[in-house]
Structures are given as C-alpha cells and as structure tokens.
Chains A and B, each alone.
Chain A
Amino acid sequence: MMTRPRRVIIATMTLPDNVDATHALLGAGDYVADRSLATAVFLSLTLHRPLFLEGEAGVGKTEIAKVLAGTLGRRLLRLQCYEGLDVASAVYEWNYSRQMIAIRLAEAAGDVDRERLGDDIFSRGFLIERPLLQALEPHDQGPPVLLIDELDRADEPFEAYLLELLSDYQITIPEIGPIQAAQPPLVVITSNRTREIHDALKRRCFYYWVDYPSAERELAILALKAPDADAELSRQVVAFVQRLREMDLFKLPGIAETIDWAQALTQLDVLELDAAVINDTVGALLKYQDDIAKVRGSEAARLLDEIKTALEDGRAGG
C-alpha cells in the first residue's frame, strides 16, 4: 500500500557519477540503501556489468530494480523466472499464425521458391519479442532496466543461455544471427538462493548480498513505507522484529513482513504493542507454524518486556 505519492521524476536522468550520487538516487526513489549497496549499484551502472543481488526473501531485492527504473526514468522490463522457463517465453517466439498465412499466400500466388519463402518467414518481421530481446532494442528513454527476477527458480540450461546475453549483451537467433544491443541495458538479477547459481554466471556480475537492515535503517524504511504508523509503535515494531531475527527461527521475518505488520497494526488502531496483540497478529510476521508456536504466548511477553526496557534505557540514555 503506497500512501505517500511518488515524487515526480524528470524523464531520462543522467547516470550518477559517484557513489554519493547513487546513494542519493536510490534515496530519491524512497529506497533506504546501505553505502555498500550504493557502491555495488554505482559500479554496475558505470562499468555496464549486471548486478547480482542475493538474499533472503523480503529484503527488497526486486525493489532495487524498480527504484532504479523509476528514478532514472528508464523502462523496466521484468522477467519472472520459473521452472521450465524457455527461450519461447523469455527471449523470442515466431509468430506462427502470420507465418502460416504467409505460406498460404505464397502458395496461392503460385510462388514455389521455398528457399526464399523460408528466409522470408524466418525474418525479424515474424518475430515476437519477449523481455530479454526487448531489452536489447533501442529505447527513447535510454537503455531499459532489465530485471531477471528469482533466477534460482529457472533451471540450469536457462542460466547457461543467459551467459551470452550477460557478457556481450547479445542474443543469437539461429535463423537470423546475433542481435547486439544498441546500448547495454541495466541488468539486475535477483536470487533467493534456493539453489546455487553457477560461478560462470556470477563471475560476469557484481555480486551483492542484501542483508537484513539495521534497526536504524529499518526504522527509516518504516517511516517511508508505513507513514501512518505511530512513531512509538514503529520503534517497538522494529525492536521486536530485530529481536526475533536473533532467534533460531526457521524463517526470519524480512523487511516486507515488518512493513506488513506495521500496516496491519495501524489498521487495528494499535498504538502500543502488548502480548495479546502480538499473539493475534504474529501471522503477519512469521509464516511457519513451528516458528509461531515458539514465539506465541509467554515468549512474546518476555521479548516484549526486554525490548521495552531496552527502549526505555535508550531514551533515558539519549
């Protein structure tokens, strides 16, 4: 839920020329970034190499690509990976019905030169372009941002197929030949690490591990993404989530969960956390029954006491 209007961005911004500018650029898109992330993004933008983002689910990997496209005024081309993703849905497909009509027309006209007909119907005019091929096309606003999302869900052959694209920004279609990008697109690849991506692919990218944010950064993110939440409540929410991340849970809550939870609590008009509220809403944070059982009840009360004391101390100290 986006309550704050996005800032209007003048189309086609120039690329940032240092890390500070990159940091500011991400900030302009409401993305609270670490300096390390800004550095990786800057390198990727200047050296025209893909950015490989790995991290747990819900830490804002995909968001980076969206923010980059938004702030730079580029088109965002998104390729969601899944098992069995093939060339026909990722790169290009022939327009079969048009091809068939072309064959019929040629036959009706008595054109029997099948060699030439073959060249005709396997030419660019009969090509349906999918995201990867679209990314190589020239665009008015400048080269697009190509987001290859959750690459770990695709299978190894597809990963191997990407190698040519990522190193040379080129795609080879057997019937036509290689198609080279006019200007290299900005490529962002994300992975949830449900399997290891091959070294050959990682070698061609700048790698960045997107970690859970610090309390300070998480609070800043909440202020942007859940602006209606009470300031005190946000502080408690962040402290509680940070405390949960220290526990041995099967799935730790990500930033997306923190935002969900803060928004849920706001909807319920909660101004302060208490054990009962946590018990009722913990489903927004934890998605495994074992984890919920571990946290619910007396444990939640204990954690809550801990963080409240810590927050009191922090305030007294500050």
Chain B
Amino acid sequence: MNTPRAGLAVAGSGRLLANIMHFARVLRAAGIPLGPGTVIDGVNAVCAVGVGDRDDFYWALHAVFVNRARHRELFDQAFHVFWRNPRLLERMMSMVLPSFDHPGAVSEQALRRRIGEALQGGADAGDGEPPATEIELDAALSWSGREVLQEKDFEQMSSDEIARARAAVARMHLLLARVPTRRYRRHRQGTRVDMRASLRAALRSGPGTIPLERRRRGRRPPPLVVLCDISGSMGRYSRMLLHFAHTLAADRGRVTSFVFATRLTNVTRYLREKDVDAALERISEAVSDWSGGTRIGSCLDEFNRLWSRRVLGQGAVTLLITDGLDRDAGEGLGDQVERLHKSCRRLIWLNPLLRYADFEPRSAGVRAILPHVDDFRSVHNLSSLEELADVLSHVGPRHEEGVSQWLASR
C-alpha cells in the first residue's frame, strides 16, 4: 500500500503528524479504542480534506476515530481541548484540580476528568505545555509501586493513585460461587441419561447398541444485590465502591445496585452505562442525598418492602456496604437487617471502618447489624477488595461461623 506512506510524507512536513498521533493517544487513554492503523487512516483523511478549514479537519478525524455513538461526546470534548480552544482549556484546568469530595461540582462540568488526565499524559510526550497547576499537583504525588497501592487506604490516596486504583478495580472479576440450577446440561459423568443425545448417538453408532449420553444439573452464579451507603461518613469509599459495582455490573448479568443515605435509590440502570464516568455522573444527578447523614433502618425498610421480593427472589447474594453509623441510632435497624438476611442467600457486610485494628462494635448501628450478617469484611484498599472477590468465589459459611470467627479473633 503506497497511499499511507504518501500521506505520512505530506503530513510529516509539519508538526501536524506528531500532533495527530498525540491526539489519538489522548483519545485512546480516554477510552476510545484506536489502533495504529486508525491513526494512519486519520492522517490520510486529514491529508485528503486539507488543513485549511477547522470544521473539515474536525469531521475528517471524527469520521475515522469515532465509530460508536457514545464516543461522539468524548471525541468532541477531547478535540476542543487538544486543538486549543482557550475557553475550554481553562475549564479543563479548573477541572483537573482534584475535588473528590464534591461530586456535584464535577457533574456540572461537561468535561470528563479522564480527558484531563489523558491529556496530561499525552502532553508531556511533546505537545504543548501542561498547565502549571498540574505540575504542582504532580510534584505532590510520588510514584508508588503496585504493592504500596494495594495496601493504601482509599481515603489517603492522591488523585493519581485513585485513578490507578480505579483502573485496577475496573480489571477485577468477581466469581461468585456457582449454585446448582434446575436445568440440565450434557456432561459425561452426569447422573441422568440424556435421551435425546443418546438416540442421536444410536443413529451414528452401529446396530444393536444405544450408547448412553449423560447429563447433570447446570450451575450458575446467583444474582448479586449491592446496597451502598453514600453518606458523608463513607466519603471516598462509596465512590470507589460504586466503581467496583460498575465493574461487577459490566462483568456479569443479574447485578442490582442501590445507593442510600437518607433514602434509597435504585441505580442499576445508570450503572449499565458503559462509561464509568458517565454512569457516576448520572447517579449523582439522580441522587439528592449524597454526602448527607444516614438512616440505614428506614432505607432498609424501604428496600425490604418495595424491592426485596423483586430482586432477591432467586437466591441472591447481598453486599451491604456501610460503616453502620446511623443517624437514627440503630432504631428499628436490627429487625430490618434480620428480614434482609432471611430473604437472601448470603448477606455480606462490607465496612471500611474495620481497617482500624481496634475497631469495636460499639455504635448502636453496628451492634444492630452485626448479629444478622453472614460475613463481615473490610473494604478500604485494593487488596481487601481482591480478598472479597476471593471469599465470594466459594460457598461461604452462614452466620454462625462467619461472624463469630471475626468476633473470636478480637
């Protein structure tokens, strides 16, 4: 093929070639999958339309780099930031300043944090100067290896570490222990005869025999229900755990997610959004009680009344993510947790407060929840999340063993 080379030669005359390449890298980092072939196509497209008109230039790259509806917005924003629209660049600078505690502020921005960070990465490769504020920020961050990141508390992570932790979370898999279904599948050591398969085999084999084919019960992971506390005391953990919930929902079917603080919101549909930033943005739009106080009892009551029959029906495993700090001082909480426990296959309580070695179940909320959960685990860093994945991958003990073990280890 001669055309690409010819295109490269023309474009290579200026800095345009390098810039298109960096732009493609920014897009790739922001989540649009682009291979080197596409980059060459992009250069050729730009050569074909010429660089005289900004609009032509935009649509030429658009035609090559975007092939999914949901990538259009991402491309648009990245384009304007990268190719120097000063007003937007300004907004981006304000945006890149970390503000994790104010999700509302983030959601107002049309820009995604990801583009900011992707651009940062691309920028020091040669194109343009990164804003001064970012350098300060970077100076504050020190490179921490994977192990350090594993053990570091989410609360103490810098924005860069948070980003890397999120990437790690996005790669996680949660293999729930598979439970037998009532559906049969062919299996050589099965306990039942698969008549249909046997008769087919009889036609293949010689006369006089009908070789028996067997089948046994199939297995599949049970549904998963995530109940995540997003009150102020959960702070950064709840955002990280929503990332975790997003990964779970993308990884497998039958995941239902709720967030609660003072009232309960079903966020399953939002988490189905492929792009995790867009998903979280839509959640913060939909949820009005973010970072407020918690009323665990009344939220669980609402869940039990309105949702439990709809989502716990098929033996679901439930993750209850909360620190147990309840504004109503645990009033009525015990009954609700008991009901929840009785309606699901397994109730696992994830509590970030458990990271403190001297954590004692003192608060009324914690004492109300503890007697009714099957397992009680900490989620404050990456390795605890990975452990969780590990624990869920085999059939765990019911309440007696699960929590009494933890209590005994105190």
Contact = CB atoms under 8 A, between A and B. Distances in A.
Interface of A: 82-84, 86, 94, 96, 99-100, 103, 107, 112, 114, 117-118, 121, 152, 155-157, 192-196, 248, 250, 290
B309 A96 contact: no
Contact of B310 (A94, A114, A195): A195
B195 interface: yes
B199 A100 contact: yes
Given A194-B309, A195-B311, A290-B339, A250 B304 contact: yes
Given A121-B199, A250-B305, A84 B310 contact: no
A94 B309 contact: no
Nearest to A195: B313
Contact of A96 (B195, B204, B313): B195
A112 B253 contact: no
Given A194-B310, A194-B313, A99 B199 contact: yes
B182 A193 contact: no
18 contacts: A83-B182, A83-B314, A84-B182, A84-B183, A86-B183, A94-B195, A103-B203, A103-B210, A107-B207, A107-B208, A118-B203, A156-B253, A157-B183, A194-B313, A248-B305, A250-B305, A250-B339, A290-B339
Q: List 6 tightest A-B contacts by C-beta distance, closest first.
A: A84-B182, A194-B313, A96-B195, A84-B183, A107-B207, A118-B203
Nearest to B310: A193
A246 B181 CA distance: 38
B277 interface: no
B388 interface: no
Contact of A155 (B183, B184, B207, B309): B183
B161 interface: no
B164 interface: no
A152 B223 CA distance: 14
Contacts of B311: 195
Given A84-B183, A96-B195, A112 B207 contact: yes
Interface string B270-312: 0000000000000000000000000000000100110001110
Interface residues of B, number: 25
Nearest to B301: A248
B38 to A, nearest CB: 33
Contacts of A290: 335, 339
A123 to B, nearest CB: 13
Contacts of B301: 248
B392 interface: no
Nearest to B195: A96
A94 B199 contact: yes
Given A84-B183, A107-B208, A155-B181, A195 B196 contact: no
B202 interface: yes
A103 B181 contact: no
A45 B60 CA distance: 53
Contacts of A107: 207-208
Nearest to B313: A194
A276 to B, nearest CB: 27
Contacts of A118: 203
Contacts of B203: 103, 114, 117-118, 121
Contacts of B310: 193-196
Nearest to B311: A195
A107 B208 CA distance: 8
Interface in B50-91: none
Contact of A100 (B196, B210, B305, B313): B210
Given A82-B182, A94-B199, A107-B208, 13 more contacts: A83-B181, A83-B182, A84-B181, A94-B195, A94-B196, A96-B195, A103-B199, A121-B199, A152-B313, A193-B310, A195-B311, A195-B313, A248-B301
A117 B204 CA distance: 11
Contacts of B208: 107
A86 B305 CA distance: 32
Nearest to B203: A118
A124 B313 CA distance: 38
A118 B200 CA distance: 8
Contacts of B304: 250
Nearest to B223: A195
Contacts of B223: 195
B371 to A, nearest CB: 17
Nearest to A106: B207
B304 to A, nearest CB: 7
A259 to B, nearest CB: 22
Contact of A195 (B202, B204, B305, B314): B314
Of B199, B311, B313, B314, the most chain A CB neighbours within 10 A belong to B199
Contacts of B210: 100, 103
Interface string B315-348: 0000000000000000000010001000000000
Contacts of A157: 183
Nearest to A251: B309
Contacts of A86: 183-184
A305 B339 CA distance: 31
A118 B205 CA distance: 12
Interface in B147-186: 181-184
Nearest to B193: A96
Contacts of A192: 309
